[in-house]
Chain A
Amino acid sequence: MLSAAEVQRIRNDFPILAREVGGSPLVYLDSGATAQKPQCVIDAELDFYAHRNSAVHRGAHSLAVEATDAFESGRTAVADFVGAGIREIVWTKNATEALNVVALGLAHAAAGLGGPEAQRYRIGPGDSIVVTEMEHHANLIPWQQLARLTGARLRHLPLTDDGHLELGDLEEIVDTTTKVLAFTHASNVLGTINPVERLVARAREVGALTVLDACQSVPHLPVDLAALDVDFAAFSGHKMLGPTGIGVLYGRAELLDTLPPVLTGGSMITTVDMESAEFMPAPQRFEAGTQPVAQVAGLGAAVGYLSETGMADVAAHEAEIAGILVEGIDRVPGVRRIGPDASAARIASVAFDVEGVHAHDVGQVLDDAGIAVRVGHHCAQPLHRRYGLTATTRASASVYTTAEDCERFLTALAGVRPFFGVS
């Protein structure tokens, strides 16, 4: 657990946290959308451009070697951070792209690309793809598209009233027709941490591939993807204190080597003639074109920062913050929270509806007090519909969030309904 002094020291590493908004010190409770960056991440990008900028994996000059070192040491850092091998980490521009690379890679295989090695990925009519009702659109729409492209059926695991996956019909929904089970590790709206082990076990029984959206878990919890035994996973740099423009696709090595690439072109081939090309093994086969090298350097620094802080301590700190937010929000009259209680396995991402006041208006009043929260559907419209809502307000935390942040937020929240004359 991080002491208050340690959290204060961490906050000093994030220059933006010193700024004011509308005359009040910033309270940043929108880390679920994007996290703030410590100075070391900002410096790592600056340092790359100032001293080592060059093309990677091509050219033999000294700068090219240094840039390639920075690029590949970022990969090693991220691989170590999530329990993966370095050949299992593919750079993408964000997690959305990573999920699309898997879904569209399977579509390519279904269309006959990838040769005999890719036959195992074939999906078609009579097969099914299973997602959950709590997915971010990034882990829903690519599977809708894959279903349309292949004729497979898209099914989903529903939600319980208290924000968990309803797994009573797991064996019926994930059945022998299921080729893919795609689900989020932690809900970006409800905060629920899903039972990965149980879901993976069922997928294994029926021979389905598992695809884990780890965007909301990797920044907040110790995550070992090999131990979780998922086939693919995706997460984004900017939610884990790193830069925008860099995401990660994890895939088990033997799968990445045979999944047909979607983005093709330079830097991902061995030999090319006018009719055809041979592709490199993973990860390069998925990294066509110029890569986000400075962003990789920044992400490497972010991973270093989180590792040094210690993910167990990060998780314990954020669990405490989750408790303050959940219990505090539940005490505000006229506010209906969605998602599990503080006692459940959850992250510090807490969404709620203020009766009689639209989320946009809630966010506006909070902003006036210098408090940044997310309002809207948080890229999860089906989830909101499940709870009879169009939009919610969401407070979400990171390693730098303090109990004082929560208290200021809760005080301002209590003033929202009186401001609008709703009671």
Chain B
Amino acid sequence: MSKYYDLNDILVEDEVVSTVFHHKANGVGYLDPGSEDDNVEKGAVVELPLWLAQDLSRRKIIQVNLPPCFGAKVRKEVQADPACVNLRSKCPYFYEMGCKLADITGDPSLGGFLLSTLRGRYRDILCKALTSTITSTPKFMTLLTQEETHLFEAGRDSMRTFQKWRLQGPQLERAPILGRKRR
């Protein structure tokens, strides 16, 4: 409940996973584009957003398949060189989603895989965050997931604040909302 208002948590749960229905569901034909009446049949394979899949799988109505971004192919790629894999294109909320999926699918190896991925990528992110120039967005940002982007920005901003403190620049600034219009 602590994350009820959390914007990112809401967006993580908007990601889609493929699921298999164990029971028939009436009146929800809009979920399954292939259904002919207004129902989803037993055994149908349907793409559901994570928020719905979480609850339904807890009640054993559906079974969640592990999305391809956590599959064997990606795991091999990550093992080869974690820092170079473009995780953003695979799943923008790789870690958060992985944590939630580990819960639902009960895959015992998923947690360890996420940890080793982050461990492999963290050093590079931290190094680049602390040395990056102020304004330009480095090219490698396009490889990062949302969570990693936050880490990167936190590192870059703390470095920037430190520099500002050391150089004793102006400490009072105008409110950011007014920054749009120039005088």
Report if A and B associate in a common complex: no
**Contact surface of B with A, Cβ cutoff 8 Å:** none
